[in-house]
Amino acid sequence: MKPFRLVAAGVALAVVSVVSASAQASRPAAPAQPAPSSASPALAGKLAVIDSSAFGDEKAGITRVVNAMKNINAQFQPQQTELQNMQTRYQALLDQIQKTAPVAQPAATQALQDQAEDLKRQIERKVQDAQAAVDKRQREVLGPLQDDVYNALQAYASARGIAVVIDLNRVPVLYAADSVDITKDFITEYNRTHPATTAAAAPGTGRP
């Protein structure tokens, strides 16, 4: 099976959105194969599809993935708030320039424009720094978790005689019957065999 990619769609920093930890080409050996659950879909042949974007669904996703995404969001909430406030001040300056430019002295307008440009540069620098920090944290948190989910998926497929699993989140598929979609069953199986723990949900933990 090809590696999939966990997508942390909930992590956003003001004017930027940061998604996903990088998929790794090499994977460790899969753990012991669990027995197929009685709720498994009736698979047609040896091919199945899965939608990895559902792993982060707050209500129906993988609990450990959801917790990890929430923790990353919480960790960077101060930076997000700061950037949003700076963006608000920047927009207020633009509005003031537009409103007063027809009647204000050119020097006064230029001063406001210089102030707005300086604030814009500050925002851009902080966005870059924040994005780099989020990327690093996602690699630390989602990387090991992604490996764990991948190994569990590999074991799940092997136990059920599935030779190929296509990730609908990465590969366009025109049609797939419900009978070959293992998304819900795999999530249920993973949550049962890999329950979330207090340590896994704690902010600042390197490995969920």
Is residue 112 over pLDDT 70? yes
- Joined together, the tokens standing for residue 80 give 């997000």
The answer to whether 206 and 68 are in contact (CB under 8 A) is: no
Q: What share of the chain is helix, strand, coil (3-state, %, to 5)?
A: 55, 5, 40
Residue 207: inside a domain, yes or no? no
Residue range 173-191, pLDDT digits in tens: 999 899 999 999 999 999 9
Q: What is the pTM of this model?
A: 0.67
Q: Partners of 17 in the beta sheet?
A: 12
Residue 5: inside a domain, yes or no? no
> Which of 29-43, 93-107, 171-185 has the lowest average pLDDT?
29-43
Is residue 9 over pLDDT 80? no
40 pLDDT tier (thresholds 50, 70, 90):
low
What residue has token string 């296509």?
A: 166
Q: Which residues are CB-contacts of 75 (< 8 A; sequence separation ≥ 6)? A: 137, 203, 204
pLDDT given at position 10: 38
Average pLDDT for 12-30: 33
Domain range for residue 156? 12-201
Residue 4: inside a domain, yes or no? no
pLDDT given at position 4: 53
Is residue 15 over pLDDT 60? no
Cα(137)–Cα(9) distance, rounded to whole angstroms? 14
Residue 181: inside a domain, yes or no? yes
Residue 2: inside a domain, yes or no? no
Cα(174)–Cα(37) distance, rounded to whole angstroms? 28
The CATH code of the domain that includes 44 is 3.30.910.20
Cα(113)–Cα(119) distance, rounded to whole angstroms? 10
Q: Report the domain count for the chain.
A: 1
Residue 156: inside a domain, yes or no? yes
